[in-house]
C-alpha cells in the first residue's frame, strides 16, 4: 500500500466584490457613515426605515444576506449615552427588523447584539449601533472556513428594496 500525500493548495482565484471598493476608498475625513446616512435620503445608502430617534439600514459589508443595523441619529459611543426615547426606539426597531427579516427571508435564527468598542469588534467604535443578522442552518459554508470570504447571494440594492417594501 503506497502512502499518497495530498497537500492542501489554497485557491488563489479572486472573488469579485466590486462594492467593497467604497469601503476601501471610504471617507477618510473622519466622517461617520451612520451620521451621513441618517441625515440624507439616498436609496444607495440602503436605509430601510427612518424613525424619530433611530433608523435601520442594510449593512453594506454583511456577515449574511439581510444583515441589518439599527443606529441612533445622534453620534454616541455607548448605550449609556442614549436617552430613554432612543433606547426604546432602538429596541423596538431591533424587534421589527427581526419580524421583517422573518417575513422576507425566513431565517431559522438570528444573531442580535451590540459590539461596543474596538476591542469588542465594533467596526464603527464611536457610533453605537445594533446588529440583526439572519441565520440559516449551514449558512457558514466552505468559503469562510477555507479562505475567509463570505458569499452573499443577492445584490444589496435588491435586498434593500425587498426589506423596504416589507417594512411598510
Active-site residues, by number, are 129
The answer on whether 3 is annotated among ligand-binding residues is no
- The 3 state secondary structure assigned to 13-66 is CCCCCCCHHHHHCCCCCCCCHHHHHHHCCCHHHCEEEECCCEEEEECCCCCCCC
The answer on whether 6 is annotated among ligand-binding residues is no
Distance CA 120, CA 113 (A): 11
The answer on whether 123 is annotated among ligand-binding residues is yes
> Would strands 68-72 and 130-135 be described as parallel, antiparallel, or unpaired?
antiparallel
The answer on whether 53 is annotated among ligand-binding residues is no
Annotated binding site for substrate: 59, 121-124, 131
Annotated binding site: 59, 121-124, 131
Amino acid at each position: 500500500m503506497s502512502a499518497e500525500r495530498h497537500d492542501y493548495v489554497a485557491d488563489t482565484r479572486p472573488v469579485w466584490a466590486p462594492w467593497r471598493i467604497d469601503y476601501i476608498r471610504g471617507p477618510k475625513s473622519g466622517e461617520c457613515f451612520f451620521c451621513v446616512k441618517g441625515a440624507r435620503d439616498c436609496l444607495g445608502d440602503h436605509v430601510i426605515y427612518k424613525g424619530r430617534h433611530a433608523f435601520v439600514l442594510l449593512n453594506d459589508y454583511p456577515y449574511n444576506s439581510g444583515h441589518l443595523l439599527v443606529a441612533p441619529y445622534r453620534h454616541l459611543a455607548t448605550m449609556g449615552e442614549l436617552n430613554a426615547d432612543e433606547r426604546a426606539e432602538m429596541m423596538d426597531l431591533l424587534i421589527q427588523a427581526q419580524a421583517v427579516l422573518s417575513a422576507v427571508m425566513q431565517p431559522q435564527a438570528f444573531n442580535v447584539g451590540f459590539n461596543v468598542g474596538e476591542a469588542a469588534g465594533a467596526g464603527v467604535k464611536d457610533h453605537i449601533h445594533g446588529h440583526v443578522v439572519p441565520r440559516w442552518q449551514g449558512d457558514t459554508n466552505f468559503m469562510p472556513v477555507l479562505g475567509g470570504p463570505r458569499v452573499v447571494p443577492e445584490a444589496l440594492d435588491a435586498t434593500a428594496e425587498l426589506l423596504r417594501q416589507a417594512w411598510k
